[in-house]
Amino acid sequence: MSSVTSLKRKKMKRVYSLLFLALLFLVNCQPSDEDSVTIQGQVTDERTGVGLPGAAVIITSPDELGSNFASTDSSGNYSFGGITITQATDVTFRASQTGYVSATRSITIVPGQAFTLDFELEEEGSDSGGDTGGGDEPVVGGEPGVPAAIVLTDVSETAINIRQTGGTVNTTFSFIVQDSSGRNMNEDTPVEVNFRIIKGPGGGEAVVPERVETNDEGAVVSNLFSGDSAGVVRLEAFIERNDGVRIASTPILIAINGGFPAADRFFVAPINYNVEGYGYLDPGISYAITASVGDRYGNPVKVGTAVDFRTEAGRIDGSAITDERGFASVQLSPDGSSPGSGTADVGFFNITAKTVDEDNEYIEKDIRMLFTTREAIITFTSGAFDIPANGSDNISFTVTDLNGRPMAAGSTISVSSQGDIEITGDSNIKLGDFFTGGPGRTTFTVTAQDVDDLNNTAQGASVTVTVSTPSGNTTSATITGTRRKVIGN
């Protein structure tokens, strides 16, 4: 008989607790002159009613208040102080303790007021008969009270395209409306939820419908449709309660992107403009040619926008489609061609990239590239060197491809020596991406210096220049000279 009485008391305790929370939520809030809120309460054992020391209470949403943490004292009491808000805000709390099932509660807090929120935790594996709903968190029974939270449950697309581009132009989002105890609204407690765009690009984007009534499960569904401008859209779902309290939720950020290509936002470039490829065929070598395609706002165009490529020399992939960043890349390979052979433009050729704008007009960009030979011509222009004892001599030389062009970008030039001399100057360089010759491009100078203070006899010496292309082909040339003995020996 005593166990029956205990069960009845427990049920009555739950009822009184819910009524007490509702009363606190509606009328037991003391206003202050500040925009700060104090929230306090107690975490207890659901079976015994004894306070649980060291339990954790954390704010899990909204994001701007998230991760606020409190720990209960020896009597199971906790307190959050100094929480600053500027409007009515739905806040979710979670209480947990080792050996107990965590519990979650949501309430709406109002600036300048104080709230009490208690938690009763059930022991893990307990057979007390508490209703857990088959999950980890207790479920509060009974009819739902007034709406206190709007919880986002699903967004079909986080990024959509500008309308008329052929891509996805709308996204569907779903919310559940709950009371302060986490119970969903039902068919007897329908609520109208409003939707509005807080921030957007202003291109005609819209929410349809703007007002929805909750269904039998407390759910609402609406859609965002894009306009003709790219940007980020922030949506708000809100409820205007009869008591004047406004419940709002703003968790949705949708990106609108993927406009049509714009001529002034369409660019094409290789990694290097001067590459190996004149007069030879090597299917194992290729060079990336990339188009950057943006809309009139500078945003990436719709994923999958096609770009056509054509070339006057070599082999190039015919087309590519843009990725999420608006880039489309193809590969160019040497095919044995010799562009401009016998002319002043030997080695040069054009690549054209083309796509279609919003007016169905072609837009295109050309780039000029240079195929150079693998083999180099190395010419010493200073003649044989003659180094006086303890002195030095300059050695000048030129390096070009077989057509007189600078060697391919990334080619290296190294200078070594034999004999008691050392080399300084342009002795170890890596070529940049050049079309025309000049110092540091095709003409170079090193200094050969006597470094043997002990050997005073005259002797021969040599200097070798080695050119290596990015594909690994090498060309070398050597110049000889003399290191003189010390005068008088």
Could you read off the pLDDT of 235-262 as tens digits, one per residue?
A: 999 999 988 889 998 878 898 877 789 9
Q: Kindly report the backbone phi and psi dihedral angles of residue 309, in degrees, each rounded to the nearest multiple of 5, phi listed first.
A: -125, 140
Whether 488 is in a domain gets the answer no
pLDDT digits (tens, 9 = 90+) for 213-231: 999 999 999 999 998 887 8
Clarify whether residues 132 and 16 are in a common domain.
Answer: yes
**pLDDT by residue for the chain (489 residues), tens digit each?**
444 444 444 444 444 444 444 444 333 434 344 567 888 899 999 888 899 988 888 887 786 775 577 888 989 999 987 788 888 788 888 888 877 888 888 888 877 777 888 999 998 776 544 443 334 444 445 567 788 889 888 899 888 888 877 678 899 999 999 987 788 999 999 999 999 999 998 889 999 999 999 999 999 999 999 988 878 899 999 999 988 889 998 878 898 877 789 999 999 999 999 999 999 998 889 999 999 999 888 888 888 899 999 999 999 999 999 998 899 999 999 999 999 999 999 999 999 999 999 888 999 999 999 999 999 999 999 888 988 878 899 999 999 999 999 999 999 999 999 988 899 998 999 999 999 999 999 999 999 998 876 666 778 899 999 999 999 999 999 999 988 765 544
Q: What is each CA distance from 406 to 99, 335, 403, 409, 435, in whole angstroms? A: 75, 21, 9, 8, 7
What is the rounded CA–CA span in Å between residue 256 and residue 6? 59
Whether 399 is in a domain gets the answer yes
What is the rounded CA–CA span in Å between residue 108 and residue 182? 12
CATH number of residue 368's parent domain: 2.60.40.10
What is the rounded CA–CA span in Å between residue 311 and residue 370? 12
Clarify whether residues 8 and 135 are in a common domain.
Answer: yes
Q: Which of 97, 120, 141 is the last residue of a domain?
A: 141
CATH number of residue 34's parent domain: 2.60.40.1120
Q: Which of 114, 141, 168 is the last residue of a domain?
A: 141
Clarify whether residues 249 and 284 are in a common domain.
Answer: no
Tokens read off for 316 = 């190039």
Strands 306-311 and 77-84: unpaired
Contact (CB, 8 A) for 259 and 299: yes
Clarify whether residues 280 and 186 are in a common domain.
Answer: no
Neighbouring C-beta atoms of residue 282, cutoff 10 Å: 14
Clarify whether residues 6 and 137 are in a common domain.
Answer: yes
SS3 content of the chain, % helix, strand, coil (to 5): 5, 50, 45
Clarify whether residues 155 and 136 are in a common domain.
Answer: no
Whether 489 is in a domain gets the answer no
Whether 113 is in a domain gets the answer yes
* Residues counted in the chain: 489
Whether 90 is in a domain gets the answer yes
Clarify whether residues 130 and 161 are in a common domain.
Answer: no
E strand or H helix at 324: none
Neighbouring C-beta atoms of residue 425, cutoff 10 Å: 15
Clarify whether residues 33 and 113 are in a common domain.
Answer: yes
Clarify whether residues 356 and 401 are in a common domain.
Answer: no
**What does the DSSP assignment read for 175-215?**
EEEEETTSPBP-TTS--EEEEEEEE---SS-EEESSEEE--
What is the rounded CA–CA span in Å between residue 402 and residue 55? 80
* Bridge partners (DSSP) listed for residue 392: 449
Q: How many domains does the chain have?
A: 4
Contact (CB, 8 A) for 196 and 166: no
Clarify whether residues 235 and 202 are in a common domain.
Answer: yes
Clarify whether residues 129 and 25 are in a common domain.
Answer: yes
What is the rounded CA–CA span in Å between residue 328 and residue 308? 10
Domain containing 210 equals 148-257
What is the rounded CA–CA span in Å between residue 36 and residue 131? 35
Q: What is each CA distance from 475 to 65, 242, 345, 379, in whole angstroms? A: 68, 88, 24, 12
- The pLDDT assigned to 11 comes to 46
Question: Helix or strand or coil: residue 138?
Answer: coil
Whether 164 is in a domain gets the answer yes
63: left (phi over 0), alpha (psi -120 to 50) or beta: alpha
Question: How many Cα atoms are found within 13 Å in the side-chain-facing hemisphere of 160?
Answer: 25
Cα-Cα-Cα-Cα dihedral sign, residues 159, 161, 167, 170: positive
Whole-model pTM: value is: 0.58
Clarify whether residues 314 and 195 are in a common domain.
Answer: no
Q: Which of 257, 292, 307 is the last residue of a domain?
A: 257
- The pLDDT assigned to 251 comes to 75
